[in-house]
Amino acid sequence: MTSIWEGIHPRLTGCDSLARAVPHLPPRTLLHAGPPYAAPDAVPVPVRNAACAALLSEGWADTIDEAAEMLRSGAVHLAPAQDFDVVTPLACVVPPSMPVLRVEACGLMRLTPVNDGPADGALRFGDSQTQAQIARIKALRGWLPHIVDLVGDGVDLLPLMNTAIHAGDDLHGSVAQLTDALADALTVPAAAPADLLAYIRTPLFGLNPVMAAASVLSAALATRQGAPVVVAAGGNGVDFGWKSSATPDIWEARPAHAPVGPMMKPDAPVLPAIGDSAVIDALGLGAAILRHAPALRDALAPFHPPQAFTPQASACFLAPHPALPGDIRLGLPMTALSDHPGIMLAMLGAGGEGLIGRGIAPWPAP
């Protein structure tokens, strides 16, 4: 019997600035994870921190106070990244000059920012490191032509994802094996800077291409699946939202739940679920396949029921992809939202404390 996934094979095909990759991006717009905010003052601290750094990196403001006021007044527009076929992790806010990777399948395309690297200077953790974050964006901009060369003629992602799952990655909370496999698959020109070659092997570099691959897999499934399926999912630190293939321009949102799991800073308040990386779990990877990721499974086992780490976690999804292990089912029907096993996420401090733990955030009741 032919799989519904037959012929759907995401491929990393290029890199460009967001402004060039999305020429219809409105002026003075920054992209954030999850559904839209009700108002500028609803934006949580971690996203405001990242947005201020992104805004300053574009030269739209001269001081942090000026940047914050532009956000509060609406002089800079914050828009959901997935409305522009972009997926961004955690609190990472994507400005027009940020390099984005392109992943394609079946004539469809999804974009994702090049991973913003280690915590010291990363936007996605939402802490207040403005100058280091601006420096990180500047470094990524400078590397853009070299990343184009690294991608070269493109990289098929499913074989790398399969290898990584067999090696212990869930492809969300753990992508170490995927990152190494991707770095080995890239084309390394002689002129590539040594610091960039080290950067592409930092532990979470591979996460962003997996996000884009998951998003384009769900989008491609929707073109051949009659019943509605989930084609977008993400949290903005306030609400968790999703889109159906039946109404792909409409967000359905509910108050987001915080991830549940081990914490590095037990006294810090936990931000509710944030990040477009939820598209990975909406597809059927991440939390649904923690049985394949022993290190994560052992860390999370004290916080969740045993069935979370068995094939039962995959039961609500549609069908296996022939390129991945056969016990993994992919594709989330809209009728199965209440059975979803949850989202494997990093925990961010609600007050801008940065990374404070990791856990599984429940999918809100539809």
The count of structural domains within the chain is: 1
Asked whether residue 281 is assigned to any structural domain, the reply reads yes
Residues facing residue 11 across a β-bridge: 104, 156
**pLDDT score at 1:** 54
- Under 8 Å CB-to-CB from 287, ≥6 apart: which residues? 170, 172, 281, 308, 313, 341, 342, 343, 344, 360
Asked whether residue 327 is assigned to any structural domain, the reply reads yes
Q: Is 86 helix (H, G, I), strand (E, B) or coil?
A: strand
Q: Distance from CA of residue 351 to its chain's centroid? A: 21
13-42 per-position pLDDT tens digit? 999 999 999 999 999 999 999 999 999 999
Q: What are the two backbone dihedrals, phi and then psi, of residue 9, each rounded to the nearest 5 degrees? A: -135, 100
Whole-number Å distance between alpha carbons of 243 and 360: 21
Provide the percentage of residues in the chain whose pLDDT is more than 90. Answer: 96
Asked whether residue 226 is assigned to any structural domain, the reply reads no
49-98 per-position pLDDT tens digit? 999 999 999 999 999 999 999 999 999 999 999 999 999 999 999 999 99
Asked whether residue 315 is assigned to any structural domain, the reply reads yes
- For the chain, what's the residue count? 366
Asked whether residue 190 is assigned to any structural domain, the reply reads no
125 token code pair: 């953790």
Asked whether residue 31 is assigned to any structural domain, the reply reads no
Query: How many helices (H) and strands (E) are present in the chain, helices listed first?
Result: 10, 14
- CATH number of the domain enclosing 351: 3.90.1700.10
Whether residue 329 contacts residue 318, with contact meaning beta carbons closer than 8 Å, is answered with yes
Which residue segment(s) compose the domain that 323 sits in?
233-361
Asked whether residue 311 is assigned to any structural domain, the reply reads yes
